[in-house]
Structure 1
Amino acid sequence: MSIHFDLNDLVAFCAVADLGSFSKAAESVHLSQPAYSRRIDKLEQALGVKLLERTTRRVTLTAVGREFERKARAILDDLDSALLGIRGHAGVRRERIIVACVPSSVYDCVSQVLRLHHALYPLVRVTVFDAKANEVLAAVSQGEADFGLSFLGAHESDIDFKPLIEERFVAVCRRDHPIAKLPRVTWAQLAPYDFIAVARTSGNRLLLDQALAGVEVRPEITYETQSGTTLLGLVEAGLGIAAVPAMAMPGPDHPLLVGIALLEPTVTRKMGLISRRGRRLSPGAQQLFELFDTVAPAHP
């Protein structure tokens, strides 16, 4: 029997099955949309069946397409497993793994895991989709990311949430600020100073607002930013103090910033790995998922 398609065709097909969009799938496999369409057409012609139903808004799998997707993924997964068995870590197929995460997890937790992952699997390319918590959740739910790292998702019906770390919010200020030498501070002690916060669209802001709803003496917001990176930049510039998750701190050796335990109340968030319920990760994505599960708790 002649075979008139190749592994790249299978990868392209699985991409549109995941993303439900030709444009997104084409981007994910680094093809122009016309070239991507030709690849899918070639696959359908080689098989002699219709795999996809195309509309102006969405691409869905036919009944035959759903069955072929299962078999195509099994072929690609078996190939990865075979390469691992024959050539060790360096044998992993050149694949692209997309990890969605909240930006506050990138500096310490995500970077540490990715550094180790690259040493183990140098051929695997990882795309980090850093976004707000609700956008991370949507990317995983819609199949645009293989899995994610976030504090939202534990109560979603289509998401599996694997808890990793429960971390505290800390006060952050410049080392020359009056509170910098204190071992711990209360929210009331922050009240006299200019306070910098992320916008209400941030999941971290929502957590803080809920936790502080009944606190009478608390800091008034002087500056508001869209990102935690900008927030820390304003703190570095001496424009005020802020409260951030512990893993968002740039580290104990930072020349300008210091983090201080923040009490009364202690505010925490539970970080976890999120994945779409019922979706089987590729061997490469599963390896990275397990690495996060092993390494991340050591970097709260």
Structure 2
Amino acid sequence: MNITLRQLRAFIAVAELGQFNLAARSLHLTQSAVSILIRDLESEIGVRLFDRHTRMVCLTLVGQEFLPQARKILKDLELAVGDVRDNASLKRGQVTVAAAIVLAATIVPPIIARFLRMYPEVTVNIRDMPEEAISPALKRNEVDIAVGTLSEDDPEIVGTPLLRDKLMLFCNEDHRFAKRKSVRWAELQEENLIVLAATNPLRNLVEHNLIRVVPNFRPNYEVRFSTTAISMISAGMGVAVLPENSSQLASAVQVETIDLIDPPVMREISLLQRRHHSLSPAAAHLKAAFVAWAADRNKLLSSE
């Protein structure tokens, strides 16, 4: 069936106004154009919709039954188009952002709060999750964008760099390293090491550097969350290598952070999304807000 919106609009106009010339005037068409639209619509449906008289037309029984349906079709379309336009202009919309646990507790909330002040009618959902859960959530379309560490061996995920932070040694304030300004990776050989889960991208970065200087490296404890590692460190159970950003969660406990050197190691925090997957207007604007925040932060750091 090949019914057009122009045909439906012409049908409704003629039905409501009762004359082809009045309908044509309301639609800014010629009377013959309206007559052709009605004729084609009747031909497509296979029944007469109007009884023609000398000057007036009136709906047939089928036309009377079809009129409310035609009105509903146009109304539904207008609502759908209005929703799309509202989403595009951020008068409404919804975006779900995932973030690694520490990032969700530190850098993410201020950026989203600033975004919502600009676009208060957009709904933003935050999903804090382990680093290793982010890529699967993106691939399942459970989240629109994410903030975390990009895994280089995942071709389905693309990252926009936001900032870099360095890996630091976290230890109890009574630990022998606590008063040091720096510690070499090789000095961790005799320590009780607390590491993140094997599927966490940060684990790979830590192990790569540890195995280089400690070939027989074996962790003593494995946990999923940095917060758990920090609590264990505070309890004197060992030390951990975590991103510098994690130190914001350690201020209330007996934990010190020390530079790791030989070599210093940086990790990159990125805005993650599915490759070749278009973002909604709300998600695209939120991504831009993260990128703008990172640019301002990096500019500030470079001027210091």
Alignment of 1:91-240 (within 5 A): 92-93=91-92, 95-153=93-151, 156-216=154-214, 220-240=218-238
- Report the structure, 1 or 2, having the larger helix content: 2
Question: What is the TM-score when the length of structure 2 is the normalising length?
Answer: 0.63
Deviation at 1:253, TM superposition (A): 4.8
Following TM superposition, where does structure 1 have runs of at least 4 consecutive aligned residues deviating by more than 6 angstroms? none
Q: Conserved in 2, the CA contact under 8 Å of 1:154 and 1:160? A: no
Q: Which residue of 1 aligns with 2:260?
A: 262
List gaps (5 residues or longer) in structure 1: 3-45, 48-67, 85-91
Distance in 2, Cα, partners of 1:252 & 1:139: 28
Give SS of 1:177's match. coil
Alignment-mate amino acid for residue 169 of structure 1 = L
Give SS of 1:104's match. helix
Alignment-mate amino acid for residue 80 of structure 1 = N
Question: What is the TM-score when the length of structure 1 is the normalising length?
Answer: 0.64
CA deviation vs aligned residue, 1:160-192 (integer Å, no higher than 9, x gap):
321122221101123332212211111223333
Larger radius of gyration: 2
Q: Which residue of 1 aligns with 2:282?
A: 284
More deviation, 290-299/261-270: 290-299
Deviation at 1:201, TM superposition (A): 2.5
CA deviation vs aligned residue, 1:71-116 (integer Å, no higher than 9, x gap):
96x753421355x6xxxxxxx32x4321122223223222332232
Distance in 2, Cα, partners of 1:294 & 1:210: 32
Alignment-mate amino acid for residue 284 of structure 2 = Q
Q: Conserved in 2, the CA contact under 8 Å of 1:168 and 1:246? A: yes
CA deviation vs aligned residue, 1:272-293 (integer Å, no higher than 9, x gap):
1122233332222222111111
Match of 2:85 among 78, 81, 88: 78
Distance in 1, Cα, partners of 2:190 & 2:184: 12
Q: Conserved in 2, the CA contact under 8 Å of 1:188 and 1:217? A: no
The CA RMSD measured in Å over matched residues stands at: 3.2
Alignment-mate amino acid for residue 238 of structure 2 = G
Distance in 2, Cα, partners of 1:80 & 1:162: 24
Q: Which residue of 2 aligns with 1:241?
A: 239
Q: Conserved in 2, the CA contact under 8 Å of 1:170 and 1:259? A: yes
Q: Conserved in 2, the CA contact under 8 Å of 1:174 and 1:238? A: yes
